[in-house]
Structures are given as structure tokens and as C-alpha cells.
Chains A and B, each alone.
Chain A
Amino acid sequence: MQSNGHEHVIEVTDLRRVYGGGFEAVRGIDFSVRRGEIFALLGTNGAGKTSTVELLEGLAAPAGGRVRVLGHDPYTERAAVRPRTGVMLQEGGFPSELTVAETARMWAGCVSGARPPAEVLALVGLEAKAGVRVKQLSGGQRRRLDLALALLGDPEVLFLDEPSTGLDAEGRRDTWELVSALRDGGTTVLLTTHYLEEAENLADRLAIMHEGRIAATGTPAEVTAAQPSRITFELPEGYFVGDLPPLDELGVGDHEVDGRLVRLRTRDLQRAATGLLVWAAQAGVELRRLDVRSASLEEAFLGIAKEASAKDATAGPGAAGRASAGADEAMTNKEHAA
């Protein structure tokens, strides 16, 4: 297994996490991450991303299912896993009165095979802040310090919980570059994010989490491809939807009409768009507010959230709906606190 370049470094099977109050934050998820891959857990606040990552980091024992990191149980076989992983928590965890250099030195003393602290601080652009107390750092600088510490031990597996939250656009791009470079050097990265752009740019594969479950998984292209593309336009004066060419001939899956506004969803965008535009040209009408867009991760993401809530609604507005509303709230609080 070690010699295999496509070895699974992280394996998660039917994983569950239940909090003290009985709230089920992770409800049976499966995924695996190959060596040298960036895998993103994408989801809104309260989707269960942090709850999942904490189980992978070995901070808590799962309520059910199985986690293997580098072939070991990260909770019960802590000593076997920890020297080979690096962790960036969602929120700091540094004594506010220590300086950046003191914090890095302390952490270096707790990490086997640590790189020189100054080297990793330079890597994240914090070398000029070495003498500054942690409490005086900006939110973005703290995130970068956290990233630096996660890199101190040259980890084989890196867990990044919302690595770019609180960073400005430039800092975010720097972090992306650094994480990509790490992956190119052979590091396996599992990150969580609620930025679609981040998952799209960075992840080799991703899973979209919703209410403790994985709603979709694959490469960004695969997840996106599973979603229809969309054409929106305003019906010309005096025309009705029935006046358009037959929609199934255009490859349109379904449509909705909102006043004069028509939305078509299709898996064959070129055929649908061509058909529609040829019709408009022949009829000599202008399609105002025309908007043609191929499926994006954003639409996949919104589509999944919509589908899931539709499912909740058909299951009845009773227990399930209320439970998940309460759950969202609980998780949001949790994620704020954590």
C-alpha cells in the first residue's frame, strides 16, 4: 500500500458524530482522499464540515463509523498519526501574550522533525511580525500564523479548516498558491471552505456537505456537470412560451416562467441556445435580459441546498424540518465558538 502512488491516505466510512445534547452533526458520510490530492469539504455554516474534520484530526471519537488516516485510527492511535499530520483549526488557539516567534518556537518544540520556525514564518510572510504579540495581529495574520505552525513538521497530511476565512483577496490568493505548491510537493490536503471559488480553484476533488451528509462528490468538473446549464430571458411582447420551439427538441429539461421572465434548464447548452437564438432571429424579436450560463459549482451548490430542502418539505413540515432548523442554529453557534 505504501508504494502505491494512489494509496488512500484518508478513508472515512459511514462516519457519524453526535454532540452531548443529542444533535447529530455528521450523519453517515463516506469519502476517501488519495495521497497528494487536495480534497475540499464544501458547505454552508452548520453543514458539519468542522465536526467532520475534528474527527479526522483525532480530536474526538466518532459516534459511529470509521476513520483511517495514514492507515491508523487518529483518535485511538494518536501517537502513530500526529507526527505525520499538520492541523490548522478554524480559529486560533494561541496564547495572546506570546509573540509570533515565541509561539512558533514553542510549537516547534512539540513537533518531530520541525523546520526552523523562521523558515515557516517566512513562508507565510510573517517574518516581519516575529516580535509582535499574537493579540496585536490582524485576523488574517493569525490565520497565516496558524498555517505556518501547521507546516512546521513537514506533514504528509494537512488539515485546513477554513484556511482563508478572514484573509483579504491577496492573502487568499497567496494561501491558495502555497497550498497548491504543497500538494505539488506531495502533501495531501483536506480543507473545508464555504467559498465556492476556493473549492473550484484549489480542490482536485470535493464533497458538498449539507446537514451532516454528503450531497455530492467528485472533481469540481464532475459535480458541476451533474447540474444543468441555464438560459434566462424576457419573453418578447405578445409572445407566450407556447410560441417558442418545442422545448424538448431544444434539449431543455424543465422551465419556469416568472412574469415575463423565462428560465430554461438544459444539459445541452449549445443546442438549446442555438435553437432559441435562431428562433429569435427568424421571428425578428429581441430577447431582453438574455443570460446564458453553463453550470457552475455555485449552481450545483445552490441546487443541492434547494433539492435537500424540497426533500425535507415533502417529508412533511414536522419533525425533520424543525430538527434541522434547530440543528443549523446549534452548528452555527458551535462553529462560531470553535
Chain B
Amino acid sequence: MSATGSPARTAGTAKGAVTTPMSRMAALARAELTLLGRNKGTVFAALFVPLVLPFSVYSASQEMDLAEAGLTTGTMVLPAAIGFSLLFAVYSALVGVFVVRREELVLKRLRTGELRDAEILSGSAFPAVLSGLVQSVVLAVGCAVLLDLSVPSAPHLAIVGLLLGLVMCAALAAVTAGFTRTGESAQITPLPFTFVSMLGSGMFVPLDLFPDRLASVCELLPLTPVVTLVRGGWTGDLSAYEALGAVATAVAWTVVAVFAVRRWFRWEPRH
């Protein structure tokens, strides 16, 4: 070790400011963003899949009687595309991030410092949430250009739906990470929620085309209110009652997920 600098507690040298929750999370988010850029697998899953999967929805939608559900190709494809983004770029990607950081003992290390638990999870989640947000905007613009999607008639619903979806998917990823043991199993454990959401949350097939009883169950799935709100934001045919119900469902899932994280999240590898 060199003799430069004084090892002892310094007086008078340039020292950083007192940290705040925002500054700490920003430092962590910046590091995570760097890491996201270096992980090719995650970049592929997070960027490529949500931008390509909508084409399969597009071809499926050509065989459906969308008019019966009051939909156009654009209002069918866009909410599904945003759903894919939430499931792949946010939810699945974050399960991997949380698990790998835990197994690398990064979470344990972070907990020895000033960061609070919620800050650690939020800061680590930021890049994935940001990529979900950016993708959703890109998808909206893309659908407007390619599928003649009109301007949203109730944009506030779409925005509320998207933001709830981002927060909920991050929280659900932390829940899933709680019972995922290794980075390898983090490829598998997100699949059940992903498949259930794709099939049951109105992404491939609008719930209006489901049998009534099945539809009312599917309305309670976590991602359904997000898809409903985004779709309603464009079509504008969501009643205030329906909109509130969707918001309440999404908020309830988020609250349950946050509770589950506080209760069951694992900060260290199992021994």
C-alpha cells in the first residue's frame, strides 16, 4: 500500500455531503444502470422481447372479432405490448437482479451502510422500471404510427395504469426473488406469473370475449387492472366505477406485495 493520503480520520480534506435517501438511491441506481448495460442477456430479454412479442398479438388479433369487444387492432395490441414490457423488462428482469445481487452478497453489503432496506430495493429496481417506462412510451408512439392508433381519450387512466403497473411489477419481482434460490432458478420462477398474466389479463384475448364467470375471476389478477386502465385510456369507454375498481385492484396487489416483501424477502443467501 502506498503512503499517499492519511489513513487516519481526516480533517479538512474534501469530503462529500451528508447523504439523503434520494442521493443514496441515485448512486445505487447509477451503478445498476451500468450493470444493466453490461448484461447482454438481460438487455436482450428486456428490450427485444417486449418489442417483438406484440407482433404475435397483432397476428392473433387479425383472427378475432375485435369489434364485438369494442376494440381496434391498435387498442388491442398496445395494452398487450405494455403488459409484455412490464412482465419482461420489469418483472422478470428484476427477479434476476434481486436474486443475483443477493447471491453475490451485494444486498448484505449494502445493508451494512446508511441505505435503508426500501432504498436498496428501490434503487436497484430503478433501471428496470425506467426501461419499462421508456419502452411503453416507444410502444405507444409505434402503435400510433404503425396501427393508426388515435390519441388517447382518457390519458390520465393510461398513465395511472402504467405507473401502478411499474410499481406493482417491481414489488412482485421482490416477492418472487424471496423464494428464488439461485440465478438459474430466477429464469424459471417468473414464468408462472408471466404466463398467467399473458393468458388471463386480457393481453392476448380481451376479457370481454371470455365467459362471464371466468372473466370476473381474471379481473382480479394483478396485471388485469393495468391492461384495463391502459386500454380504457385509449378507448375512453371505461366508466368511473370500472376505473376505480381497476385502480383499487392494482393498489391492493401492490400493498400485498409490499407486505410480503417486508415479511419474506431474503437479504442473504440460504446456508
A interface residues, Cβ below 8 angstroms from B: 57-59, 78-79, 82-83, 87, 89, 91-98, 102-103, 105-116, 119-120, 122-125, 127, 144, 151, 154, 156, 174-175, 177-178, 181-182, 184-187, 330, 333-334, 337-338
Given A93-B109, A97-B35, do A106 and B27 touch, yes or no (CB 8 Å)? yes
Decide if B106 touches A112 in the complex (CB within 8 Å): no
Given A82-B114, A109-B26, A112-B17, do A178 and B39 touch, yes or no (CB 8 Å)? no
- 15 A-B residue pairs with Cβ-Cβ distance under 8 Å, sorted by A, are A83-B114, A87-B113, A93-B108, A93-B109, A94-B109, A107-B113, A109-B30, A110-B113, A112-B19, A113-B16, A127-B2, A174-B1, A177-B1, A185-B9, A187-B8
> How far does the Cβ of B110 sit from chain A's closest Cβ, in whole Å?
7
Given A109-B28, A127-B2, do A96 and B114 touch, yes or no (CB 8 Å)? no
The CA-CA distance from A219 to B38 in the complex, in Å, is: 50
Q: Which chain B residues lie closer than 8 Å to A337 at the CB level?
A: 269, 271
Decide if A123 touches B269 in the complex (CB within 8 Å): no
> How far does the Cβ of B122 sit from chain A's closest Cβ, in whole Å?
13
Q: Given A97-B39, A123-B7, 11 more contacts at CB 8 Å?
A: A59-B112, A79-B116, A83-B114, A105-B27, A110-B115, A113-B16, A115-B16, A120-B5, A154-B10, A177-B1, A185-B9
Q: Output the nearest chain A residue to B37 by Cβ-Cβ distance.
A: A97
Q: Which chain B residues lie closer than 8 Å to A330 at the CB level?
A: 271
Given A109-B24, A124-B1, do A57 and B112 touch, yes or no (CB 8 Å)? yes
Decide if A109 touches B19 in the complex (CB within 8 Å): yes
Decide if B30 touches A122 in the complex (CB within 8 Å): no
Given A87-B112, A92-B105, A338-B268, do A102 and B19 touch, yes or no (CB 8 Å)? no
Given A92-B105, A154-B10, do A119 and B23 touch, yes or no (CB 8 Å)? no
B14 within 8 Å of A (CB atoms):
yes
Q: Which chain A residues lie closer than 8 Å to B38 at the CB level?
A: 97
Q: Which chain A residues lie closer than 8 Å to B268 at the CB level?
A: 338
Q: When the two chains form the complex, which single residue of A91, A111, A144, A151 contacts B114, counting CB atoms closer than 8 Å?
A: A111
Q: Which chain A residues lie closer than 8 Å to B113 at the CB level?
A: 82, 87, 107, 110-111
B239 within 8 Å of A (CB atoms):
no
The CA-CA distance from A151 to B5 in the complex, in Å, is: 12
B interface residues, Cβ below 8 angstroms from A: 1-2, 4-10, 13-19, 23-24, 26-28, 30-31, 34-35, 38-39, 101, 104-116, 268-269, 271
Decide if A106 touches B271 in the complex (CB within 8 Å): no
Interface of B is mostly: loop
The A-B contact count (CB < 8 A) is 146
Decide if A122 touches B31 in the complex (CB within 8 Å): no
Decide if B108 touches A89 in the complex (CB within 8 Å): yes
Q: When the two chains form the complex, which single residue of B31, B106, B109 contacts A102, counting CB atoms closer than 8 Å?
A: B31
> How far does the Cβ of B271 sit from chain A's closest Cβ, in whole Å?
5
> How far does the Cβ of B44 sit from chain A's closest Cβ, in whole Å?
16
Q: When the two chains form the complex, which single residue of B6, B8, B35, B114 contacts A110, counting CB atoms closer than 8 Å?
A: B114
Most buried by B among A95, A114, A186: A95
The CA-CA distance from A112 to B38 in the complex, in Å, is: 28
Q: Which chain A residues lie closer than 8 Å to B31 at the CB level?
A: 95, 98, 102-103, 105-106
Most buried by A among B10, B31, B105: B31
Given A93-B106, A154-B9, A178-B1, do A112 and B35 touch, yes or no (CB 8 Å)? no
Decide if A92 touches B27 in the complex (CB within 8 Å): no
Q: Which chain A residues lie closer than 8 Å to B35 at the CB level?
A: 95, 97-98
Q: Which chain A residues lie closer than 8 Å to B10 at the CB level?
A: 115, 154
Q: Which chain A residues lie closer than 8 Å to B34 at the CB level?
A: 97-98, 102
Decide if B8 touches A123 in the complex (CB within 8 Å): no
Decide if B30 touches A93 in the complex (CB within 8 Å): no
